[in-house]
Amino acid sequence: MTKTNRRELRKRTPSLATRTPDFNVTGHGATDVGMRREVNEDSFMMLPDNHIWIVADGMGGHAGGQFASTITIDIVGRALVRRLGEAERAAGPKGKINVAEIMDAAVREACATVFDTARAQPELAGMGSTVTAMLVYEDKAWFGHVGDSRAYLIRNGRITQVTEDHSLVQEQVAAGLITAEQAKVSVMRNIITRSIGYEREVKVDVGAVPLQRGDQFVLCSDGLTGHVEDDEILQIVSTEERRRAPQQLIRLANERGGEDNSTVVLASVLGRRGRDRNRRRGPTTETAPGTARSK
C-alpha cells in the first residue's frame, strides 16, 4: 500500500471514542514480504484507542490478494468502531452490549464488500483474505476469525492457540485422519476452507478470553506459523522487548526459508486502568499488504 493510500485509509477510518476497557493494552506490529514472494499480500491494522488489532492474509494474485487484505482490515476496523458506537448510544452509559454480534457483523460486512468488489471488477475475480480481529472491551478480549491466520494467548509461561484454523489439514486432524505433525508437512496445508470474499456470506468464529494482567496476544499470518513453532513464539515474546518481538519472529521465519509473507501483531495487557476519560487517536496501518466459536 502506498503512503497516499495509507493516508486515505486513515481519513476513512473513524477514531470514535468508545467505552474505556478495564485494562490498558498496548500493541506492536510488523509485516514482511518474506524471501520468496514478490509482493506482500498481508495487512495489519492497530487502532489503539479503539482497542482493536487486526491481521489479514490476502489471496488471489498480486493485485487481488493485496487489495482483498487491505479492504478486509479497513472494513472490519471501521465497522467495529461504528457498530460499537451505535450500540453504546442506544444502550446508554450502563447498558449491556452484545459484542459477539457486533464482531460477527463487522467481519461479515467485510466479506460482502470483498465479494461485491471482485464481482464488480473482473480483474480482481477470485480474490479473498483471511482475517483475525481482536477487540478489547471491558474485561475481555473478543476475537473474530476466518481462515488460517491465528491468535495465541501467552499467560503464566504457557502459550495457547485461541483460534482454530479453517483449513483442510485441520479438518483431517480433527477427524483423526492425520496427526498434527503430518499436517505441518502436508502438500494440502495451504488449502483453507473458509475465507473472506469467496462467497458473499461467511461463517465467523467469535469468542472471548477474560483478561489478566500480563497477558500477551499474538495475531499472525501463516507465513509465520509455517516456520516458527508455538514454543518458539512463546520464547521470543517472553524474552524480547515488546516493540522488537514481532520483528524478531518474522526474522526467524525468514531465516528458515521465508516462503510466504509474514505478519505479527503483539498486544500486551499492562494492567487495569481507570475509566476517567477516552482519548482519540488515528489508526496505525501497514500493508505490503476462551477459544473462538462458530456463530
Q: What is the mean pLDDT of the chain?
A: 87
Return d(Cα 284, Cα 262) in angstroms, integer: 18
Report the CATH superfamily, name and number, of domain 3-294. Answer: PPM-type phosphatase domain (3.60.40.10)
What residue segments make up the domains of the chain, in order of their start?
Answer: 3-294
Q: Specify the residue for cell string 488515528.
A: 282
- Rounded to the nearest angstrom, the gap between the alpha carbon of residue 211 and the centroid of all alpha carbons in its chain is 18
Percent of the chain with pLDDT over 90: 72
Predicted local distance difference test score (pLDDT) of residue 184: 72
CB-based contact 293:207 (threshold 8 Å): yes
Q: Given a cut of 80, is residue 159 above it in pLDDT?
A: yes
99 φ/ψ angles, rounded to the nearest 5 degrees: -65, -35
pLDDT the model gives residue 231: 98
Taking the whole predicted model, whether its pTM rises above 0.75 is answered as yes
Cell numbers at 33, concatenated:
514480504
Condensed to tens digits (0 to 9), the pLDDT of residues 239-286 reads 999 999 999 999 999 999 999 999 999 999 998 875 434 443 445 555
What tens digit of pLDDT does each residue of 25-53 get?
A: 999 999 999 999 999 999 999 999 899 99
Phi, psi of 102, rounded to the nearest 5 degrees? -65, -45
